[in-house]
Amino acid sequence: MEAEDLRLLIRSKLNDGRLPYNSMPRFWGGRGNGEHCAACEALITKEQLVIEGIASMHTDKKPTQFHVKCFYVWDAERRAIAPPGYSIVAAVIAPSTSTRVSYAVGDAPGGRNGQV
C-alpha cells in the first residue's frame, strides 16, 4: 500500500472509530503470527514484526495489532487530528538497568558462535 493511501485509510479509521485516538501507554512487539493489522488490514506474517497495545481509553480493552510502519503512521495521524480531550501523549519507556537479547543461531552480531 502506498504511503498516502495508508495515511488516508488510517485517518478514515480514526474518524469513524475503528482506530483509537488515545495513546497506548504500554505496547509490545514480536514476530507476527498471522494477525490482521488494524490499520491496513493485511496479514502480519511470521517474517514481519507486530506491535500490539491497548489504547488508554479504548472501550473494548482488546489489544490492537499493527505492522511497525502502520503503527508509526497511526501515531502521527492520531496526534495530528485528535479531538480535544484525548490523551495523545506517547508512552514513556523507562531505561532498563539490564538488557536481555536472544538470537537465533547464526543471527548474533559477532559471528556464528554468538559472541557479541
d(CA 87, CA 58): 11
Domain CATH for 61: 3.30.1740
The overall average pLDDT reported for the chain is: 77
Name the least confident of 29-33, 53-57, 68-72, 94-98. 94-98
- Is residue 53 domain-resident? yes
- Is residue 102 domain-resident? no
Q: pLDDT tens-digit profile of 79-101?
A: 888 777 665 555 444 443 433 33
- Is residue 13 domain-resident? yes
Burial of 83 (C-beta count, 10 Å sphere; 0-12/13-18/19+):
exposed
- Is residue 104 domain-resident? no
Q: pLDDT tens-digit profile of 97-116?
A: 433 333 333 333 444 333 33
Range of 25's domain?
Answer: 3-81
Q: How many domains does the chain have?
A: 1
Q: State the residue for C-alpha cell 478514515.
A: 12
Q: What is the pTM of this model?
A: 0.69
